[in-house]
Amino acid sequence: MKKVIVTTTINPPTKAIERFEALTDWDLVVIGDKKTPADYRLQRGVYVSPEEQEKYDPALSEAIGWNCIQRRSFGLLWAHDMGADVVAVVDDDNIPLPGWGEKLLVGQEVEVNYYETDLPAFDPVGATNHGHLWHRGYPLPLLAKRDYSRRSRRRVRVDVQADFWNGDPDIDAICRMEHAPECNFDPSYFPLSANQLAPFNSQNTFLSGHCLRDYFLFPHVGRMDDIWAAYYVQGKGHRVVFNRASVYQERNPHDLIRDMRQEYLGYENNLNLVRDVARDPESIKAYLPGRSLWAFELYRRHFADA
């Protein structure tokens, strides 16, 4: 099985990158940006410089733009070209814990805690021992209505395995300003899944290779890039299962007010978007600015059946 880790960075190799690179049963692909140190080097991983990306697909490079985390979509294409069966999308501030990437659920049929809700979206964080928090990108008008009473055990086939994160979790800026949490997620709550679309991120997530043509980190939509990618890929029929925390996040410095501004597009649109995408995944295009849609179309040209 070909397993590839994909990330992007503007930092010198971090503790997380060094640990990911040390996993000899995985290949590591790091996508550079204009702010990445010019002397960036890896011991055994692949570093893809800005110049190599420009040469690979100059139109896609222009459509995505520079100095943004969405450059990692080039990493997804690199992994596709490498014949990846599983792609792990990670952040450079998520330090893998012992056992990271082992006993993968992707491609397996597994028994999960299965939640049913009549709401148009499911919040996985609320189903854990930190139920006062919520996942970044969950529609805020639904927060007070969350209900986890309808739980059963069910077997589901896993296309996307979204692992959680101890330490500073992936919550939105409003939640972080209010709670400033330091989390230790109880593994007994996992794995879990639901009957509705759910937000997941691109910082500690394992994707089956067959999902890649439908998984794109939309540029020019702020901090909804991976959230809207998550809703879209589920709308296309790919099943996500959330699994126990397998990293500790030592979060890079953030300006929370800036983060909140970058999330506003989601605060305003996520509820309508999940309703629309559940009915017709291609309806997401109505929410995308033209340059983002152009980038998505260029990305999908790299897949023979696109």
CA gap 138, 115 in Å, rounded: 16
The angle at the Cα of 240, spanning 236 to 246, to the nearest 5 degrees, equals 145
Do residues 20 and 28 lie in contact, with contact meaning Cβ atoms separated by under 8 Å? yes
pLDDT score of 9: 94
pLDDT score of 254: 75
Element containing residue 31 per DSSP (H, E): strand 27-31
* Mean pLDDT lowest among 43-57, 161-175, 236-250, 251-265: 251-265
CA gap 186, 169 in Å, rounded: 13
Do residues 19 and 69 lie in contact, with contact meaning Cβ atoms separated by under 8 Å? no
Element containing residue 6 per DSSP (H, E): strand 3-8
Do residues 101 and 144 lie in contact, with contact meaning Cβ atoms separated by under 8 Å? no
pLDDT per position as a tens digit, 251-305: 767 789 999 999 999 999 999 999 999 999 999 999 999 999 999 999 999 997 6
Question: Sign of the C-alpha dihedral, residues 151, 152, 156, 161?
Answer: positive
The residue-averaged pLDDT of 155-183 equals 95
Structure token pair of residue 225? 């890039």
pLDDT score of 110: 98
pLDDT score of 54: 97
pLDDT score of 82: 97
Q: What does pTM read for this prediction?
A: 0.96
pLDDT per position as a tens digit, 120-133: 999 999 999 999 99
DSSP state of 165: E
pLDDT per position as a tens digit, 187-214: 999 999 999 999 999 999 999 999 999 9
Strand ranges, E, within 43-98: 46-48, 86-90, 94-96
Domain 3-300 has CATH 2.40.10: no
Residue identified by tokens 């919550």 is 171
